[in-house]
Structure 1
Amino acid sequence: MNQHIAARKQRRIVGILVLLIIATIIIGMGMGYSSLSYNRLLPTLFGQGTFKEEFVLFSVRLPRIVITMLSGMALALSGAILQSVSRNDLADPGILGINSGAGVAIAVFFLFFPIDAGSFIYLLPVVAFIGAVITAILIYVFSYSRTEGLQPTRLILTGVGFAMALSGIMIVLISSAERSKVDFIAKWIAGNVWGTDWPFILAMLPWLLILVPFTFYKANRMNLLTLDEHVTIGVGVAVERERLGLLLAAVALAASAVSVTGGISFVGLMAPHIAKALVGPRHQLFLPVAVLTGGWMLLLADTIGRNLADPSGIPVGIVISFIGAPYFIYLLLKK
């Protein structure tokens, strides 16, 4: 009976989140440096707008809205996986340094491997994934103990240390780069959505189409991984194999997101916590809620950020940090 009640509650919350996302999309389509009248949105969507209206909506607003929403979903799901795999409520791809690893790989690729723009867009998630995987492997190795397994506290401390070290590497790269390329890296560090065109969506979408269903399919395994390790092994789960597969999924999700939105932290921390508070800790219930929450949070933060200061606005990474940093400190003190 409780499960039926929880499932009904989940469906209700999912419906509310979908409505919030739709409302934020509508608000975001009309607001911005080049405003678009709300009574012209529907005609423009159906091809009856002026050249300016169609350009603003289809070439500027909609690609950015879709990219921001998908990135928020990917980061939220990545954070949920990392929290389950590490059994640590403070895990997040930004805090653990995975985003920084992806960023360093993108910066090196951008600075030292000049290729044509068409190939560059589609290679970005791959390059980010390679950098993030190398970082994740190093963090895992330094956090793992043969006698006690994966150490949650050590995982966070190691991740923060790697994030700081990789930030230093990024500064060294900036100091040796030409001015035009420095601007790009600086925007990436600030969490500025820079991949605002349809090809970036096409480059990112395949990763989500594969990894989101894969993670939902592994929901029951993730329930078991949050239990004591001896219990998990006792029920027949190959712990290390499952952890490795899910860790790779989390890294790939984070890499695909930050390759087009820059170094955004805290979405992967907050969205799973909010989802668990709403529908409980069962992964079958909270994962869809976390995904929608992450998408809506980043979409809302970007809508606020790009309208606070004209013409370029405030990077979404900074807006999210204003909310996320105090929340991280609260969790740190509480846990």
Structure 2
Amino acid sequence: MIRPALIRKQRIILLALVALILLTVFAGMGLGYSKLSYGRLLPTLFGHGTFKEHFVLFDVRLPRIIITLLAGMALALAGSILQSVTRNDLADPGIIGINSGAGVGVALFFLFMPIDAGSFAYVLPMVAFGGALLTSALIYLFAYKRHAGLQPVRLVLTGVGFAMALDGVMIVLISSADREKVDFISKWLAGSIWGTDWPFIWALAPWLAVLIPFVLYKANKLNLLAMDDAVAVGVGVSLTKERLVLLLAAVALAASAVSVAGSIAFVGLMAPHIAKALVGPRNQLFIPVAVLIGGWLLVSADTIGRNVVDPSGLPAGIVVALIGAPYFVYLLLKKI
């Protein structure tokens, strides 16, 4: 049973995070290459702005902010699942190969398939999911032992190896592509938010709308999977089935996020750790907190990146990596 005081603490933290996200979004709406007066934001939001103000806010600024928020939430949730399923605090979709698999799928589709502008935004998450699913299946097969089942540590190590191999595949693909397409893939690899139109939001939002409630429903199973296998089996958990289902959810979340936001690592690593430090290791408590932290981290990183270097800005993936890489090293040293 979860103590009422801990539940109250979680709710206060959730409210504080929502307020922090709203403040960051409000700040981000006024910052950028095309400046918007903060005094004009609310009138423009309610339809009383000029044509330029309306265009900058609704066609340029808001779609990008919402995409980064949703993508950060998806990556944080994927990381939360992976850390519980693999029982490894260093697990992250960008580190264990899922993002790389999605990236190769996106690159192959972009380089060699005919692109229909009307359906591109909706097809891309499915393509990324296919690439990530194939990669995850191979990682799973290599990590699985017939008599011992799935080995969480082996799964992470195999994923790291696949990530390195797929990064090499991406370099080969880039070396044989046209200059225009190389520019796109290079920006994608750097974590540059490129899916900045409303259709990309409608393509990403359903994945979160379905998978966030599903993962919260599975929170008790995640709690048990994070413990020893003998304990989980002793209370009747089907290890292989539950791991497969939850890994599939993590793959879908990560693939849908990186398909529109580029290759972004460390959000799925940092957000669950910060959430656990705030409310403890129970998945029912820390997953909602981690989801909001992930969204805030990516929105903040993109807002900072957009305003550091004019006019194109610094990719959000690089800003996150500048924070996340030292944090990863800290966690690694802590575990050693």
- TM-score normalised by L of structure 1: 0.98
Aligned in 2, Cα 1:152/1:2: closer, same or farther, shift over 3 Å? closer
1:136–1:251 Cα contact (<8 Å) kept = yes
Deviation at 1:151, TM superposition (A): 2.8
Q: Which runs of 5+ in 2 are unaligned?
A: none
Residues in 2 aligned to 1:334 and 1:221: alpha-carbon distance in whole angstroms: 27
Provide the residue aligned with 2:62 in structure 1.
62
Distance in 2, matches of 1:145 and 1:270, equals: 30
RMSD (CA atoms) = 1.1
Displacement of 1:148: 3.7
Are the counterparts in 2 of residues 17 and 292 from structure 1 also a CA contact under 8 Å? yes
Q: Which residue of 1 aligns with 2:36?
A: 36
- The correspondence of residues 223-242 of structure 1 with structure 2, limited to 5 A, is 223-242=223-242
Q: Which residue of 2 aligns with 1:186?
A: 186
Residue 331 of structure 1 is matched in structure 2 by 331
1:86–1:150 contact (8 Å) kept in structure 2: no
- Would you say how many aligned residue pairs link Structure 1 and Structure 2? 335
The residue that corresponds to 1:222 in the other structure is 222
Once the two structures are superposed, residues 14-67 of structure 1 have per-residue CA deviations (whole angstroms, 9 ceiling, x without a partner) of 011001000000000000000000000011111111110000000000000000
Structure 2 partner of 1:21: 21
Q: Distance in 2 between matches of 1:149 and 1:240?
A: 7
- State how far apart, in whole Å, the 1-side matches of 2:206 and 2:269 are: 24
Task: Judge conservation of contact 1:223–1:282 (CA < 8 Å) in 2.
Answer: yes
CA contact 2:200–2:260 (8 Å) conserved in 1: yes
| CA-to-aligned-CA distance 1:76-111 (integer Å, 9 cap, x gap) | 000000111111111100000100000000000011
Give the structure 2 partner of residue 270 of structure 1: 270
Aligned to 1:83: 83
Mapping of 1:138-217 within 5 angstroms? Answer: 138-217=138-217
Give the whole-Å Cα distance in 2 for the aligned partners of 1:331 and 1:55.
Answer: 44
* Residue number in structure 1 paired with 2:111: 111
**1:118 deviation in Å?**
1.1
Maintained 8 Å contact 2:71/2:261: yes
Partner amino acid for 1:246?
A: L
- Contact 2:76–2:271 under 8 Å retained in 1: yes
* Aligned amino acid, residue 160 of structure 1: V
The corresponding residue for 1:122 is 122
Contact residue 17 and residue 292 of structure 2 kept, 8 A: yes
CA–CA separation in structure 2 for the residues paired with 1:15 and 1:226 = 27
Distance 1:200 1:2 in 2: 38
Matched letter for residue 293 of structure 1: I
SS at match of 1:241: helix
How far is the alpha carbon of 1:304 from its aligned partner? Answer: 0.4
Identity %: 72
Q: Which moved more, 1:273-282 or 1:143-152?
A: 143-152
Q: In 1, distance between residues paired with 2:158 and 2:329?
A: 17
Q: 158-167 or 304-313: which moved more?
A: 158-167
Distance 1:108 1:276 in 2: 38
- 1:207-240 CA-to-partner distances (Å, cap 9, x unmatched) read 1111111001101111111111111111111111
Counterpart position of 1:303 = 303
* Contact persistence 2:69–2:295 (CA under 8 A): yes
Deviation at 1:155, TM superposition (A): 2.4
**Aligned AA for 2:253?**
L
Counterpart code for 1:93: P
Aligned mates of 1:42, 1:2 — CA distance in 2: 41
Matched with 1:71 is 71
TM-superposition CA deviations, 1:183-210 (whole Å, max 9, x none): 1100100000000000000111111111
Q: Measure the CA separation in 1 of the matches of 2:96 and 2:180.
A: 29
* TM-score when normalising by structure 2: 0.98
Report what 1:99 is aligned to. Answer: 99
Once the 2 structures are TM-superposed, how far is the Cα of residue 157 of structure 1 from its aligned partner?
2.2
1:2, CA displacement in angstroms? 6.3
- The one-letter code matched in structure 2 to 1:45 is L
CA distance in 2, matches of 1:276, 1:147: 33
SS of aligned partner of 1:117: coil
- Flag structure 1 segments of 5+ consecutive residues without an equivalent: none
Matched to 1:46, the amino acid is: F
Q: CA deviation at 1:117?
A: 0.9
Q: Distance in 2 between matches of 1:2 and 1:245?
A: 26
